[in-house]
Amino acid sequence: MYSDSVCFADQATQHRVPVVFNNQIAENTFRLRFECPEIAQGATPGQFLMLRLANCDEPLIGRPSAMYETEVDRHGHPTFVDVVYVVGGKLTSRLCKFTAGQ
């Protein structure tokens, strides 16, 4: 019944994505939006992402992050993905410095 489910790990894809915004929403807490129609269109509740920083090998290993929300573009097509993260360690302390377009 679930053999062709898009939520299975063997359907995982990798994308290099631009930051749309990366706003502080609370103490040490940021909401990041990136553009990736491929993920936004196939998002399934309970899925999570593995985040890595482009052109940076510290940290080398991706960090899991829940998908907070997906958002449509002005034509109504699912295009954007939001994550909310708390700044704590290697990845998040670098990620919080990223700005739109990076």
Ligand X SMILES: Cc1cc2nc3c(=O)[nH]c(=O)nc-3n(C[C@H](O)[C@H](O)[C@H](O)COP(=O)(O)OP(=O)(O)OC[C@H]3O[C@@H](n4cnc5c(N)ncnc54)[C@H](O)[C@@H]3O)c2cc1C
Q: Quick check: 63 binds ligand X (CB under 6 A)?
A: yes
Choose which of 46, 64, 76, 101 interacts with ligand X (CB under 6 A). 64
Strand ranges inside the chain, DSSP E:
19-26, 29-35, 48-51, 63-66, 69-72, 78-86
**Helix residue ranges per DSSP H, 1-102:** 37-42, 90-95
Tokens 């034509």 label which residue?
Answer: 75
Q: Quick check: 59 binds ligand X (CB under 6 A)?
A: yes
Site string for ligand X, 76-95 (x = CB under 6 A): -------xxxx-xxxxx---
User: Residues in the site for ligand X, rule: CB under 6 A?
Assistant: 48, 59, 63-66, 83-86, 88-92
